[in-house]
Structure 1
């Protein structure tokens, strides 16, 4: 019998876009917990830029997928789906993460703290294989028609 443990290193999280930032007066800053995840995994993500992109359109029915790869830390990946459903009133966004790092436990603790501090907690899925993560990363699916009535064509952007 083997003592090998299979770690669940893939995550699909759904929170409100407003949970990615903290407001002090009229100034925003990235969530300290989410920023700690990115620092731990050496993934360069500008949360404030993503927040601005999400709210750049006055109406729902817009938003692309952005994928960020770790610089020097194995195969860790962060992806975010900025698409706003036409009927979404909570500004929900999908965050997807694969943690391939010796600092897995540290990154997981920060990720869990981020979700636990979110005001709008919809889903926190941790798995050995996340179908939602894999679909989000699959560049062959893009550009893709998201809303037929609205005819929005979602794009996929990779950041290294």
Structure 2
């Protein structure tokens, strides 16, 4: 019997405000996203990412960030470019989830998307072209004609 191909790559597109939950005057990481990333072994400060996006990333700018797992082959890649006409603060990200973490992370990724106020895309596949494109270091820097911004790839360790 041939081996089963594992659908462990994801492309998700939501609004940046979906990454956090507001409790009174404070924002905290979305619980499902935080659990999924923890299951994957990815150390990402979600509230810091949120603050950086809104406070330090002007419209017409934003880089691609890769966050690898310290525990397995999982990683997260986020495209934080802020389109000039985007009024919903849409962000796209892709993930490769190590098979050892897939069944822990998948239900939380799905709940994160299903609870998002701005649900654009949730794709699960065995081969994500978006993920491959985002991590292709040979395509950077990418020039955005509309803003003149040169997008770079940043790998966090």
TM-score range (shorter-chain normalised) is over 0.9
Specify the alignment match of 1:60 in structure 2.
59
Q: TM-score, normalised by structure 2?
A: 0.94
8 Å CA contact retained: 1:23, 1:29? yes
Q: Which runs of 5+ in 1 are unaligned?
A: none
Is the 8 Å Cα contact of residues 11 and 124 (structure 1) preserved in structure 2? yes
Q: Which of 90, 99, 119 is the aligned partner of 1:121?
A: 119
Corresponding residue for residue 41 of structure 2:
42
> Which among 127, 147, 151 is matched to residue 148 of structure 2?
151
Instruction: Give the CA deviation at 1:59.
Output: 4.9
Which residues in structure 2 correspond to 1:1-160 (within 5 Å)? 2-57=1-56, 59-73=58-72, 75-146=73-144, 148-160=145-157
Name the structure where helix makes up a greater proportion of residues: 2
- CA drift at 1:56: 2.2
Q: CA deviation at 1:101?
A: 3.4
Assess if the C-alpha contact under 8 Å between 1:67 and 1:79 holds in 2. Answer: yes
**Runs of 4+ in structure 1 displaced over 6 angstroms?**
none
SS of the equivalent of 1:153 reads strand
Task: Tell me by how many angstroms 1:111 deviates.
Answer: 0.6
TM value normalised by structure 1: 0.93
Distance in 2 separating the partners of 1:56 and 1:138? 28
Q: Post-superposition shift, 1:58?
A: 7.6
Aligned length: 157
> Post-superposition shift, 1:24?
1.1
Return the alpha-carbon distance in structure 1 between the equivalents of residues 26 and 141 of structure 2.
34
Aligned-CA RMSD value: 1.3
Shift of 1:3: 5.0
